[in-house]
Structure 1
Amino acid sequence: MTKAADIMHPGAQWIPAHETLDRAAQLMRELDVGALPIADENERLCGILTDRDIVVGCVAVGKDPSRARAGDLAKGTPRWIPADADVSDVLREMEQHKIRRLPVIDKDKRLVGMISEADLAHHLSDDQIAEFVEKVYAQS
């Protein structure tokens, strides 16, 4: 049985909610990722920040990314999956919430990885990928 830990990209890194968006963009470049989980002061997941969020939610509206904070763009209820969850649970979570990236946590609630569409593509069958794409990208 394939688990979330088997398909995740290990070594994901948080960005504190108080960190500036320019620092978030630098960290994304250093890590070669397009998204970072946002952690509150208690190191709990409070959102996901994407490169697109920075552009659309900050730069495009004339805000200064050296003054705007990652937590300012954290919206909605954060989603995550336990590392020992079955891949069917991963797919269900991503499909139900129409999300493309899913943080993976261990039993101590620590971030241990991230699952993206690319991770799914490397580990799932063509039929599973087709179903995922249909559900996540279908118009509501």
Structure 2
Amino acid sequence: MTTARDIMTAGAECAGAEESVLEAARKMTRLEVGALPICGTDDRLKGVITDRDIVVKVLGQGKDPAAVTAGSMAQGEAVTIGADDSAEEIFSTMTSHKVRRLPVIDGRRLVGMVSLADAARALSDPKAGQLIEALSTD
């Protein structure tokens, strides 16, 4: 059975909740990623910030990215996947929450991120197609 641990990108770096959105964007650029988990000073996962969040919720609304904190972008409880959860569970979670990236948790510790592309590669062709279709609809 293929698990999240098998297909994730390990060592995910966090955007600090008190860090500015500008700093988070610079970190995304440096790491060449489109999303970062948001971690609080207590090292607990607060949410995920995406490049789209920055464009739509900050820049598109005329806000100063140096003045907005990454933590303010967290909405509700973060959707996560367990490190030992199967590719089928990743598929189900991404589909039901309509997300393209999931933080991977081992116990309470963030151990990586799994993306739509990671999940699609791990699933059979019909499932990959279903996942992409489900995430592409509003």
Runs of 4 or more, structure 1, over 4 Å off, are none
- How far apart are the structure 2 equivalents of 1:54 and 1:24? 9
Secondary structure at the counterpart of residue 58 of structure 1: helix
Q: Which residue of 2 aligns with 1:57?
A: 57
| CA deviation string 1:47-71 (max 9, x = no partner) | 1100111111111111111111001
Alignment of 1:1-140 (within 5 A): 1-107=1-107, 109-139=108-138
Q: Distance in 2 between matches of 1:21 and 1:119?
A: 26
Report the CA distance between 1:118 and its aligned residue. 1.5
**TM-score of the superposition, structure 1-length normalised?**
0.92
Shift of 1:43: 1.4
Alpha-carbon distance in 2 for matches of 1:76, 1:128: 28
Q: Is the contact between residue 39 and residue 47 of structure 2 (CA under 8 Å) also seen in structure 1?
A: yes
Point out the more displaced range, 13-22 or 124-133. 124-133
Asked if structure 2 preserves the Cα contact closer than 8 Å seen for 1:13 and 1:111, the reply is no
Shift of 1:123: 2.3
Q: Structure 2 stretches of 5 or more lacking a match?
A: none
Q: Normalization by structure 2: what TM-score?
A: 0.93
CA RMSD of aligned residues (A): 1.3
Following superposition, the deviation at residue 106 of structure 1 comes to 1.3
State the alpha-carbon separation in 2 of the partners of residues 89 and 123 from structure 1. Answer: 12
Question: Are 2:4 and 2:86, in contact at CA under 8 Å, matched by a contact in 1?
Answer: yes
Structure 1: state its 5+ residue gaps: none
Figure out how many residues of one structure are paired with residues of the other and give that number. Answer: 138
State the distance in 2 between where 1:97 and 1:30 align: 28
1-structure distance, mates of 2:19, 2:9: 23
Identity %: 46
Q: Please report how far the alpha carbon of residue 82 of structure 1 lies from its aligned counterpart in structure 2 after TM superposition.
A: 1.1
Q: Look up the SS of the partner of 2:113 in the other structure.
A: strand
Structure 2 CA distance, aligned partners of 1:134 and 1:68?
33
SS in 2 for 1:47: strand
